[in-house]
Amino acid sequence: MTSAPSKLYADDVSLLVVTLDTNPFFWTTFPFHFSEFLSQVLAFLNSILLLGQLNQLVVIATGCNSCGYIYDSTSNRNHASTNGTMPALYSNLLHNLEEFLARDQKLTMPHAPVTVPSSLLSGSLSMALCYIQRAFRSGPMHPQPRILCLQGSTDGPEQYVAIMNAIFSAQRSSVPVDSCYIGSNNSAFLQQASYITGGIYYRPPQMDGLFQYLSTVFATDLHSRAFLRLPKSLGVDFRASCFCHKQTIDMGYVCSVCLSIFCEHHDKCSTSLYLARLNQMLPQQTTGKERLHNVSGLITLILSCPSRELICYVS
């Protein structure tokens, strides 16, 4: 919405930051195997680097307990180790990915979750944006950044606020967020992310041809996109869910203080009242750490208030 400060892009050089969903709970339930998925994605990533020798590529793994950088084409370490049989990209990325998966697994909660947990998309998006800010700082000539989310897990409602914050920040610095969603139902988070930031949202109808979809839709740099007919958005659902019954509503009541949404008229907003009570209840010492900091945790805490059903979730 706001016009970003004019940036002197090197007009055909891209910085692509990919977030890769490695959530084991998703991949074990998904018919397509992770290794097949990875081989197609790796070919695509390699093609990005081959499209222009100045192109930069960063890969961030989105795990279910943590997120981490697994590949950075500008890092010196990545240039050295070519073992002749595989491009450096493959060996480095696979090595780091293995380490990441092992670390991520160690963090898993001892009690197995009942439902498939979402992956930490809010974390990898935040990291990607920090990385892109660094590229902006690097001088007047910097590559055109964009983010590509390769996501399969379902949306985690508890990440809603954090993901929206990341989307708005991306919009402010004019970084498009592309999303390739391979899960069974559309992801409302990614649909909104791509719509708001001017990226492309696409759900490949067939997993076998994933490489084809990736290279025709997502490999084009921002300059070339103006000349191509890329998939159009099929409408974005901006309707809200009420906090009280989690129903999707097209008309409702919004609290003027905390902006909670309700489907019927109440005299007082229960979220505001609950927040006020929370403020009084918690001792002052915990203000900084426990209460204010943890955005998504707090939302869960707040919204699990009176009716215990109040998850702020937009479908």
Partner 1 sequence: MNNIAGRPLNGVVVEDDDEDEANGDGLEAWERAYTEDRSWESLQEDESGLLRPIDTTAIHHAQYRRRLRALAATAATARIQKGLIRYMYIVVDLSKAASERDFRPSRMAVIAKQVEAFIREFFDQNPLSHVGLVTTKDGVAQSLTDLGGSPESHIKALMGKLECSGDASLQNALDLVHDNLNQIPSYGHREVLILYSALSTCDPGDLMETIQKCKKSKIRCSVIGLAAEMFICKHLCQETGGTYSVALDESHFKELILEHAPPPPAIAEYATANLIKMGFPQRAAEGSVAICTCHEEAKTGGGYTCPRCKVRVCELPTECRICGLTLISSPHLARSYHHLFPIVPFVEISPSSQNDPSHNFPNICFGCQESLLSHGNKPELSVSCPKCKQQFCLDCDIYIHESLHNCPGCESFRHSKSVTIA
Q: Which of 244, 269, 310, 312 binds Zn ion (CB under 5 A)?
A: 244
Nearer to partner 1, 150 or 166 (CB): 166
Nearer to partner 1, 150 or 210 (CB): 150
Phi, psi of 222 (to 5 degrees): -65, -30
Nearer to partner 1, 35 or 106 (CB): 106
Alpha carbon 2 to its chain's center: 22
CA distance 68 to 59: 9
| Least distance CB 48 / partner 1 (angstroms) | 11
Which of Zn ion, partner 1, none does residue 139 bind (CB under 5 to 8 Å by kind)? partner 1
| Least distance CB 18 / Zn ion (angstroms) | 19
3 state SS of 232: coil
Do the beta carbons of residue 285 and residue 246 sit within 8 Å? no
Give 264's Cβ-side CA count (13 Å radius). Answer: 2
Which of partner 1, Zn ion, none does residue 242 bind (CB under 5 to 8 Å by kind)? Zn ion
Which of Zn ion, partner 1, none does residue 177 bind (CB under 5 to 8 Å by kind)? none
Question: Which residues in 258-277 contact Zn ion (CB under 5 A)?
Answer: 263
Do the beta carbons of residue 159 and residue 120 sit within 8 Å? yes
CA distance 30 to 36: 12
Q: Which of 103, 225, 245, 291 binds Zn ion (CB under 5 A)?
A: 245
Do the beta carbons of residue 30 and residue 21 sit within 8 Å? no
Sign of CA dihedral 142, 143, 145, 149: negative
Residue of 113, 105, 39 whose CA lies nearest to 66: 105
Which of partner 1, Zn ion, none does residue 29 bind (CB under 5 to 8 Å by kind)? none
Nearer to Zn ion, 2 or 256 (CB): 256
Nearer to partner 1, 12 or 34 (CB): 12
Which of Zn ion, partner 1, none does residue 275 bind (CB under 5 to 8 Å by kind)? partner 1
Tokens 């002052």 belong to 284
Establish if 240 lies at the interface with Zn ion (CB under 5 A).
Answer: no
Give Cβ neighbours of residue 252 (< 8 Å, ≥ 6 apart): 240, 242, 261, 262, 263
| Least distance CB 141 / partner 1 (angstroms) | 5
Which of Zn ion, partner 1, none does residue 19 bind (CB under 5 to 8 Å by kind)? none
Nearer to partner 1, 67 or 210 (CB): 67
Where on the chain is the footprint of Zn ion (CB under 5 A)? 242, 244-245, 263
